[in-house]
Structure 1
Amino acid sequence: MTAGTRQLSIDGPAGRIDVALDLPAGRPTGVAVIAHPHPLFGGTRDNKVVQTLARALLATGHACWRPNFRGVGETDGAYDEGRGETEDLLAVVAAARAHESVDADAAASLVLAGFSFGSFVQTRVARRLQERGAPARRLVLVGTAASRFPVEPVPPDTLVIHGELDDTVPLKSVLDWARPLELPVVVIPGADHFFHRRLPLIKRLVVEAMADGHPADAAD
């Protein structure tokens, strides 16, 4: 993503997990793990929405970890319908929280972000972390794959962003998932599933959410 992007390999349940790590200019104030779209349909950690999420979270002081799912890049294993991918992300979270670049406060300030299939997996990761007593501080879900996978319930402060004209995951399915949770959904007018020409807006929304609603400079 940047000239300073580090390429890491960490141990996961199915073998090696191929990860890109970006660190902010100063000491990280938090950790972010960002999950990419469906690996069987061309999803990788270098997806433009994933990179946009990483840029936004990097700008807000987070050490950003972008793993490739099983079978993508140099990550071992094969697609596992979200089960193995959940286990792999839990391994990435553990590595991110234990990394030499972060202190205890930053390790506790974890953001889970995901796009499409990655958003579904992150809801599973969030539930597992909550059960372990080490929850994420915030979730950011973009293009949430509610029509395709059993997306878990999420905390009320989760940032959910969806495109009005998404024909891969219809907006109605996301609203149907969010309604019983009384969860707001930020709808981007005119946007499709891949948010063409809307990426700077996604970055701004994430930066502002990380600043607890106070406007911030999110110039691309």
Structure 2
Amino acid sequence: MPALQLNTPEGELEVRYTAADNPDAPMALILHPHPEHGGTMNNKVVYTLYQIFAEQGFHVARFNFRGVGQSTGHFDFGEGELRDGIYVLKWMREQFPKTSEIWISGFSFGSWVALQLLKKNPDIQQFMCAAPPVNVYDFSFMLPMDRAGLFVQGTTDTIVNPDSTKELAEKISRMSDTVVECHMIDGADHFFTGKLDQLTDITTHYIQSKRGTS
């Protein structure tokens, strides 16, 4: 799992990545939860998502937003963090030039940033988000949506309202020419404590179903 300090116009970002054996493999970028609430790229949910994509043969990267770990700078309320994602995505495209399939993924706050990155990049084909904070941030930019994706949400999450996540997925699917699936994990809290195996199974199945693999 190589690590590097990525130089950007706004400072350095701490990045970890895994390169697939196949240079033509798809690639995925994983974004972590809120920096001011202890979120880092080493969060258990983020690391689980990272491992899932790596095991499915993706080039995959995760990184620390500005001001976290070895990344320089300061928290920027989502705007700077979105630019961080843009810089890392640009680096991934340069690192894996033969890739033609791009996925974006995030957990909690990272989902909000990831989905904004998706909307700004039409070449990102798919998304997978865990516990998107629909009741905390404005997700209206998602409407309409022209790409399919997956939400995974715990039913006992006390930070993200499970009904809000389900309602957003249904609204996007109703108003758009695509489908956003929403899988609820019964008894899972915000951090999927004791439920990471179920998160893994659901996400793996979704990736395989979209890529025609098993």
TM-score w.r.t. the length of structure 1 is: 0.87
- For 1:95, the aligned partner's letter is W
Q: Does 2:156 match 1:165?
A: yes
Give a deviation string over 1:77-106, Cα, whole Å, max 9, x none.
11111111111101100100110xx342x2
Give matches, 1:70-219, under 5 Å.
70-99=66-95, 102-104=96-98, 106=99, 108-130=100-122, 135-151=123-139, 152-153=141-142, 154-182=145-173, 183-212=180-209, 216=214
Q: Contact 1:111–1:139 at 8 Å: present in 2 too?
A: yes
Give a deviation string over 1:144-183, Cα, whole Å, max 9, x none.
0111111231445201100011101110221232232123
In structure 1, what is the equivalent of residue 48 of structure 2? 52
Q: Contact 1:161–1:186 at 8 Å: present in 2 too?
A: yes
Structure 1 residues not aligned, in runs of 5+: none
Displaced runs of 4+ in structure 1, greater than 3 A?
A: 24-28, 213-216
Structure 2 residues not aligned, in runs of 5+: 174-179
Shift in CA distance, 155/163, structure 1 to aligned 2, threshold 3 Å: farther
What secondary structure is seen at the aligned counterpart in 2 of 1:211? helix
Give 1:11 deviation, angstroms. 2.1
Q: How many residues align?
A: 204
What secondary structure is seen at the aligned counterpart in 2 of 1:174? helix
Q: Contact 1:35–1:122 at 8 Å: present in 2 too?
A: yes
Q: Contact 2:125–2:148 at 8 Å: present in 1 too?
A: no
Q: CA RMSD in A?
A: 1.7
In structure 1, what is the equivalent of residue 177 of structure 2? none
What secondary structure is seen at the aligned counterpart in 1 of 2:165? helix
TM-score w.r.t. the length of structure 2 is: 0.89
Percent of aligned positions that are identical: 27
Give a deviation string over 1:113-136, Cα, whole Å, max 9, x none.
000000000011011112xxxx21
- Measured in 2, the distance between the counterparts of 1:55 and 1:18 equals 18
- Measured in 2, the distance between the counterparts of 1:128 and 1:165 equals 32
